[in-house]
Amino acid sequence: MVEPLPHVREIPPYVPGKPPVARAGLTTYKLSSNENPYPPLPSVRATAEQAVTAMNRYPDMGCSALYDALATKHGVGTDQLAAGTGSVALIYHLLSAYCGPGDEVVHAWRSFEAYPIAITAAGATGVKVPVTADGRHDLPAMAAATTERTKVVLLCTPNNPTGPALTHAETTAFIAGVPADVLVVVDEAYVEFVRMADPVDGLALLRDHPNVVLLRTFSKAYGLAGLRVGYAVAAPEVATALRAVALPFGVSSVAQAAAVASLAAEDELLARVDALVVERDRLVAGIAAVGWTVPEPQGNFVWFDLPQTDAFAAAAGEAGLAVRPFAGEGVRVSVGEPEATDRLVEVLRGMKRPT
Ligand SMILES: *Cc1c(COP(=O)(O)O)cnc(C)c1O
């Protein structure tokens, strides 16, 4: 047999959030993938359906309508943008453009599970810096882990799956200490859900530091997870490199059209985000009321740091809730429908709290 390159065997599998198991007489809820529980907006859906009528044609490889809309939204040049099939794709593109064997990529852990997969697939070496007990990036430790071998540092804010977000002050201080020839990726997949003092202003970081790369996605706040579209905002030189290594015609015409329509309907979509933040607050209050604690959630999910992950997932499953256990480490639960919040709190009430 022809063998793949040695590092290919080392790529850890991606464990997707499971769909809920059907329960007789019970509506089930999928809280396992941080998806948006709202169905597509009629305007976005109509635009996507219109794009389907031209599915015999290749998409616009230049993503021009999308780049124009994003450039306006962010006040950047279109040459500072690079789109991909979800922001996960941009992580792959970035690592393939900048990293090879022997290069190190520093990131927090536990953090987004696609990081070790993408790093290993690029043939690079991941350096995992444990998050603090309250689920935050340990920035001093990450700075100490950044050496002459480091090519990329990945910051995930808010951090999936633990929840807390970085402040602008601590992020600025961190980046100031990183050599200019190391790329600092700020993965802002959940930025629209952040409600805190001194939130990260990614565009300001990028203005001051051309080695900063912002990653955004339409999968979470904008509810387009199934269409696969995300993007990077970066210095023109970096965006050019990201576009150069991207798969030709990666972002489908339907995805491009739906993303543009979503930006046009941003007010409606962000009102839904506001409602989800209210629901997150209600969930946090419910969790506290039954005597549990979670790290400060700034995304659309909460994190239960506990070893009894299977028991937790099973109890939630009995209540019709699909959650995302990380075996032996913790359980992530997405913020979804109000009924799902109520059920989760009831599940917690009935469970023995970890001591
Ligand atoms: C969901 C997520 C992404 C993006 O996912 P895509 O669907 O590929 O855009 C990126 N980073 C983090 C931390 C995420 O949780």
Domain contains 317: yes
Same domain, yes or no: 98 and 210: yes
Indicate which CATH number applies to the domain containing 14: 3.90.1150.10
User: Which atom, in ligand 1's list, is nearest to the CA of 187?
Assistant: 11
User: How many structural domains comprise the chain?
Assistant: 2
**C-alpha span between 107 and 222 (Å, rounded):** 26
For the stretch 26-61, pLDDT in tens is 999 999 999 999 999 999 999 999 999 999 999 999
For the stretch 281-303, pLDDT in tens is 999 999 999 999 999 999 999 99
- 88: Cβ below 6 Å to ligand 1? yes
What pLDDT sits at residue 258?
Answer: 98
What domain range includes position 210? 42-265
What pLDDT sits at residue 65?
Answer: 98
Same domain, yes or no: 204 and 275: no
Residue 353 clears pLDDT 80, i.e. is over it: no
What predicted TM-score, i.e. pTM, was given to this entire model? 0.97
Same domain, yes or no: 237 and 305: no
Of 144, 140, 139, the C-alpha closest to 155 is 139
What pLDDT sits at residue 129?
Answer: 98
- 84: Cβ below 6 Å to ligand 1? no
Tokens matching residue 256: 């491009």
Indicate which CATH number applies to the domain containing 176: 3.40.640.10
Residue 23 clears pLDDT 80, i.e. is over it: yes
**Bond preceding residue 210 cis, omega within 30 of 0:** no
Same domain, yes or no: 53 and 108: yes
Domain contains 297: yes
Q: For the residues 249-266, what does the mean pLDDT come to?
A: 98
Amino acid (one-letter) located at 344: L
Same domain, yes or no: 256 and 315: no
Same domain, yes or no: 79 and 167: yes
**C-alpha span between 28 and 20 (Å, rounded):** 6
User: Which atom, in ligand 1's list, is nearest to the CA of 220?
Assistant: 1
Q: For the residues 186-213, what does the mean pLDDT come to?
A: 98
What pLDDT sits at residue 355?
Answer: 62
What's the angle, vertex CA 298, arms to CA 325 and CA 16, rounded to 5? 30
Same domain, yes or no: 296 and 215: no
Average pLDDT, the chain: 97
- 189: Cβ below 6 Å to ligand 1? yes
CA 98–ligand 1 middle distance (angstroms): 20
* Percentage above 90 pLDDT, the chain: 95
What pLDDT sits at residue 255?
Answer: 98
Domain contains 70: yes
Same domain, yes or no: 18 and 122: no
